[in-house]
C-alpha cells in the first residue's frame, strides 16, 4: 500500500498548501540518576532551487503532515538521551511561509529557512523528568506568482477589465473597490505565438505598504514580475467618505509612493503607465491636465500636499491611454509591453555575456601569467 495520493487527485496547480508541522516530544529523563531526556526535533522549512512547485511538496507529504522525531529517553547506560533530529521541508524559492502566529516569512534565496515547529525539551529536574510535547502548528505555504507583467493600481481602476480584454482569463469585474481579492493570472498571446503572462493584483490603497487594504500580502506577488503596468483611472478616486477624494495625479503619486515605500526594487522595474477609462473623458480635459502635471514633475509636486510626495519618482518607459472597457488602445499597450520586455531580455543577455567575457578574460590573464612563469 502506498501513502502517495494517486496522481489524479493531486491538483495540477497548487499555489497554497497547508501542512501540520509537529515538533518531536522530548525524551523522558531518569529521576533515579538525574538523567536528561533528549530534546525533540524541530520542523524547518527551507527554500531549494531544485524544488519547482508546491505540488512536489504535496507529493512528498501527501497527508499534509510532518512530524519530527522524539528525543531519546535517558536510561542508565545513556544518561543524556540523544536529541531527535530535525526535519526539513524543502520548498521552492519564492515561498511565503504563513506561520501559526500570523507572521509571514519570505523565503527568497536558496537555503533560506525558518523554523515552523519547535521540539519539546527533554525531561530533566525542572520538568519532573518528563519530556515536554513539541509544538503542533498548522502552517501555510504560498508560492509567489511568477508572471511577466504585474498590474498595479488603485481599486476600481480597471485592472481586471484589462486582463479580461487581453487574455482568456475571466476575472470578476465590478464597479466597487476590492473586487479582486486574490491574484489572477492570464496569458497574453501575440500573432507569432509568443505568450506573456499577466498577473492582476488586488487594488492598492494609501498606506498599503503598512498593510492597509490587502497591502503587502499582494505586493509580494508583484516582486517576481519583470514589468509593472500601472493602471490609472482618469477619474478622481474616493475609497469611502472617510477618505479624501484623490485626483488622478494624486492617485498616481500615491501609487508611486506605496511602491517606493514597499521597496524590493519595485520602482526599478521597467514600467508602463496606462491611463484608463479614457472614454469617460470626452473633452480630453482631464487627460490634458494630468499629462501637464506629469510632464512638469517634479515642479508640479508643489500642487499637492506634501504627504503625497514619493521620495523617488517612478520612471515610465511609456505613458499610454486606453479604454479597457471598449477595447481601445490595447494593441499599442500589448506591443509596448512586448517591446520593453524584449529590450530588458536583451540587456540581461548582454550583461550576462559581459560577465562571462570578464571571466574568460581573467582566465586568459592566468594563462598568460602561467606562460610567463614557464619561460
Query: What residues line the site for ligand GTP (CB under 6 A)?
Result: 153, 155-161, 173-175, 177-180, 202-203, 276-277, 279-280, 323-325
| All three cell numbers of 366 | 592566468
Count H helices and E strands in the chain, helices first.
6, 14
Kindly state the smallest distance separating residue 154's Cβ from ligand GTP, in Å. 7
Environment class of 41 (CB within 10 Å of its CB; exposed 0-12, middle 13-18, buried 19+): buried
**Count of residues that bind Mg ion according to CB under 5 A:** 3
Write the DSSP assignment of 303-330 as a string of letters: GS-GGG--SS----SEEEE-BTTTTBSH
Of 119 and 203, CB closest to Mg ion: 203
Kindly state the smallest distance separating residue 165's Cβ from Mg ion, in Å. 13
Choosing from 160, 167, 225, 321, the residue that interacts with Mg ion (CB under 5 A) is: 160
Q: Work out whether 180 is an interface residue with Mg ion (CB under 5 A).
A: yes
Query: 352: cis peptide before it, omega within 30°?
Result: no
Q: Which does 158 bind (CB under 5 to 8 A by kind): Mg ion, ligand GTP, none?
A: ligand GTP
To 10 degrees, the CA torsion angle through 5, 8, 13, 14?
-20
Closest residue to ligand GTP, judged by C-beta, is 203
Kindly state the smallest distance separating residue 269's Cβ from Mg ion, in Å. 20
* For helices 215-222 and 248-262, angle between their N-to-C axes, nearest 10 degrees: 80
Rounded to a whole number of angstroms, the distance between the first and last alpha carbons of the chain is: 70
Of 28 and 160, CB closest to ligand GTP: 160
Sheet arrangement for strand 227-233: 184-189, 195-200, 149-153, 227-233, 271-276, 318-321
Of 31 and 207, CB closest to ligand GTP: 207
Q: Work out whether 179 is an interface residue with Mg ion (CB under 5 A).
A: yes
Of 92 and 158, CB closest to ligand GTP: 158
| Stretch of residues binding Mg ion (CB under 5 A), selected from 92-100, 171-179, 251-259, 312-320 | 171-179
Bridge partners (DSSP) listed for residue 106: 96
| Stretch of residues binding Mg ion (CB under 5 A), selected from 179-187, 218-226, 231-239, 318-326 | 179-187
> For residue 253, what are the CA distances in angstroms to 163, 171, 223, 233, 247?
23, 27, 20, 13, 10
* x/- track of binding to Mg ion for residues 13-42 (CB under 5 A): ------------------------------
d(CA 278, CA 201): 21
Kindly state the smallest distance separating residue 233's Cβ from ligand GTP, in Å. 8
Q: Which does 73 bind (CB under 5 to 8 A by kind): Mg ion, ligand GTP, none?
A: none
Q: Which does 156 bind (CB under 5 to 8 A by kind): Mg ion, ligand GTP, none?
A: ligand GTP
Q: Work out whether 56 is an interface residue with Mg ion (CB under 5 A).
A: no
Closest CA to 204 of 193, 191, 226, 219: 219
Closest residue to Mg ion, judged by C-beta, is 180
User: Which chain residues interact with Mg ion by CB under 5 A?
Assistant: 160, 179-180
Amino acid at each position: 500500500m502506498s501513502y502517495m495520493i494517486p496522481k489524479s487527485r493531486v491538483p495540477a496547480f497548487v499555489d497554497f498548501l497547508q501542512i501540520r508541522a509537529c515538533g518531536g516530544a522530548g525524551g523522558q529523563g531518569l529521576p533515579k540518576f538525574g538523567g536528561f531526556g533528549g530534546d525533540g526535533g524541530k520542523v524547518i522549512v527551507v527554500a531549494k532551487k531544485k524544488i519547482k512547485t508546491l505540488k512536489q511538496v504535496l507529493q512528498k507529504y501527501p497527508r499534509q503532515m510532518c512530524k519530527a522525531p522524539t528525543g531519546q529517553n535517558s536510561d542508565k547506560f545513556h544518561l543524556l538521551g540523544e536529541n531527535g533530529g530535525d526535519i526539513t521541508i524543502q520548498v521552492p524559492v519564492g515561498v511565503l511561509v504563513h506561520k501559526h502566529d500570523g507572521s509571514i516569512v519570505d523565503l527568497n534565496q536558496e537555503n533560506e529557512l525558518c523554523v515552523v515547529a519547535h521540539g519539546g525539551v527533554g525531561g530533566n529536574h525542572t520538568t519532573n523528568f518528563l519530556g515536554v510535547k513539541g509544538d503542533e502548528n498548522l502552517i501555510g505555504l504560498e508560492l509567489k506568482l511568477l508572471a511577466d507583467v504585474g498590474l498595479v493600481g488603485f481599486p476600481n481602476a480597471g485592472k481586471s477589465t484589462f486582463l479580461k480584454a487581453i487574455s482568456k482569463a475571466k476575472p470578476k469585474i465590478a464597479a466597487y473597490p476590492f473586487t479582486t481579492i486574490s491574484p489572477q493570472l492570464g496569458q497574453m498571446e501575440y500573432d507569432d505565438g509568443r505568450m506573456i503572462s499577466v498577473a492582476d493584483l488586488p487594488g492598492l490603497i494609501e498606506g498599503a505598504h503598512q498593510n492597509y487594504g490587502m497591502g503587502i500580502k499582494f505586493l509580494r506577488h508583484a516582486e517576481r514580475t519583470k514589468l509593472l503596468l500601472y493602471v490609472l483611472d482618469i477619474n478622481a478616486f474616493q475609497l469611502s467618505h472617510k477618505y479624501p477624494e484623490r485626483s488622478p495625479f494624486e492617485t498616481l503619486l500615491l501609487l508611486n509612493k506605496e511602491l517606493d515605500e514597499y521597496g524590493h526594487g519595485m520602482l526599478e522595474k521597467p514600467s508602463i503607465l496606462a491611463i484608463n477609462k479614457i472614454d469617460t473623458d470626452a473633452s480630453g480635459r482631464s487627460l490634458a491636465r494630468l499629462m501637464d502635471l506629469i510632464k512638469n514633475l517634479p515642479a508640479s509636486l508643489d500642487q499637492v500636499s506634501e504627504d503625497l510626495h514619493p521620495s523617488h519618482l517612478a520612471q515610465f518607459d511609456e505613458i499610454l491611454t486606453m479604454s479597457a472597457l471598449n477595447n481601445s488602445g490595447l494593441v499599442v499597450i500589448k506591443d509596448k509591453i512586448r517591446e520593453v520586455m524584449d529590450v530588458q531580455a536583451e540587456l540581461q543577455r548582454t550583461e550576462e555575456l559581459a560577465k562571462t567575457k570578464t571571466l574568460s578574460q581573467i582566465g586568459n590573464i592566468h594563462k598568460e601569467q602561467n606562460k610567463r612563469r614557464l619561460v
